[in-house]
Amino acid sequence: MKKKKPCPEKFKHCYGKNKWSFSSLTLQRSRFRTRHHASFIGGLIIIFLVIFLSILSFWYTPYDAYKMNIRSRFLPPSVSHPFGTDEYGRDLLSRCMVGGQIALQVGIISTVIALFGGLVVGFISGMSNRFVDEIMMRLMDGLFAFPAIVFAIAIVSVFGADIVNAMIAIGIVRIPIFARQIRNETISLKHRFFVIASKSIGTRLPAMIWKHFLPHIGASLTVLVTTNFAFAILSEAGLSYIGLGTQPPFPSWGRLLMESQNYMDRAPWLAVFPGIMMALTVLGFTLLGNGLRDFSDPRY
């Protein structure tokens, strides 16, 4: 019996002591790419900090975010109030932390709406004949032709200024983005041999979608989800700034910016810190999306 050659010494840290392991090499390569991708690491750190502060605000904030104290109004940033106080003496750091809850809530719910709608429309369009595909895609093109924020304003204006309506509106305007991506990849995948073979043995469409389509489009959907978070946060801030999003007394970053505009000369920190929180969150999701996009690229 022929004796197997031992693994070269320089590969033992990847493959084990005396055997080759493809999964070990893949894991090692993934860790190397993750550690050396500054965009991904930076975005992950920023998002972790924002999520940590937002979740922490459910149980703890330095002060009550809704309690007024007229004697403490317009205090500049200090040790006791790191972000200062507003015109009613409320601690701005506490209100920014609570505003993070609203930002994450809007991002999650609007992204779920856009993702679910895009999956339904994209799979139906991609798996149907040319006539149905053309009709559904032209409808999506018509929806996509409207500026997203204008369409969201129209929906919120009709159904009422409320955070729930704002989340629904933001989710609806992003459905065409998800639908077109899913439709294009579905058309590409349905002609692959493994899909044709699965269809020939009688696999039903829901099982085929779950086993064959979703695993192959998961990487691109992950990138879309992260970028959609950034869009949702900016859209909610825009709607709240013009009074069509979060309503008083609930603080969102966009509403904090709107309320600070009358005191820019007296208390500029009222606009600076909510703006920084919003900018960092959007930057974090953007960097995270860029990193995930690079990881999904086989040339990277």
DSSP code at position 70:
G
Higher pLDDT among residues 230 and 218, named by residue: 230
Q: Is the residue at 67 inside a domain?
A: no
pLDDT at 6 over 60: no
Specify if 257 maps to a domain.
yes
3-class secondary-structure state, position 8: coil
Q: What percent of the chain has pLDDT over 70?
A: 85
Nearest to 172 by CA among 242, 109, 245, 254: 109
Does any domain span residue 159?
Answer: yes
Give the tokens for residue 186: 């579905």
From residue 191, give the alpha-carbon distance in Å to each of 36, 131, 135, 188, 203: 37, 18, 22, 6, 15
Asked if the structure places residue 74 within a domain, the reply is no
Give, to the nearest 10 degrees, the angle between helix 163-173 and helix 175-189: 40
Classify residue 29: in a domain, yes or no: no
- Looking at residue 93, its pLDDT comes to 92
Which one has a higher pLDDT value, 11 or 119? 119
Mean pLDDT of 185-210: 76
Question: Which CATH number is 264's domain given?
Answer: 1.10.3720.10
Residue 135 CB partners (closer than 8 Å, separation 6+): none
Q: Distance (Å, rounded) from C-alpha 134 to C-alpha 130?
A: 6
Least confident of 28-32, 56-60, 85-89, 184-188: 28-32
Is the pLDDT assigned to residue 77 strictly greater than 50? Answer: yes
- pLDDT attached to residue 31: 54
**Residue environment code for 240-252, b if the CB has 16+ CB neighbours within 10 A, otherwise e:** bbeebbbeeebbb
Enclosing domain of residue 271: 37-56+86-296
Rounded to the nearest 10 degrees, what angle do helices 92-127 and 269-296 cross at?
30
In a domain, 118, yes or no: yes
Arithmetic mean of pLDDT, 169-182: 89
Encode pLDDT of 19-63 as tens digits: 444 344 444 555 555 555 777 788 889 999 999 998 998 998 899
- Token digits of residue 261: 């505009």
Please report the pLDDT score of residue 246 as a whole number: 79
Element holding 289 (H helix, E strand): helix 269-296
In a domain, 129, yes or no: yes
Domain total in the chain: 1
- Reported as a single tens digit per residue, the pLDDT across 148-167 is 777 777 877 787 777 888 88
pLDDT tens-digit readout, 252-300: 888 888 888 888 888 888 989 999 999 999 899 888 888 777 766 554 4
223: tokens are 């990138």
Mean pLDDT of 227-237: 87
Are 255 and 246 contacting, i.e. CB atoms less than 8 angstroms apart? yes
Question: What is the residue whose two structure tokens read 């009550």?
Answer: 64
Other Cβ atoms closer than 10 A to 208: 18
177, 144 Cβ separation under 8 angstroms: yes
Name the pTM for this structure.
0.79
Cβ neighbours of residue 77 closer than 8 Å, sequence gap 6 or more:
83, 84, 269
Residue 17 lies in a domain: no
Helix orientation angle between 92-127 and 130-145, rounded to the nearest 10 degrees: 150
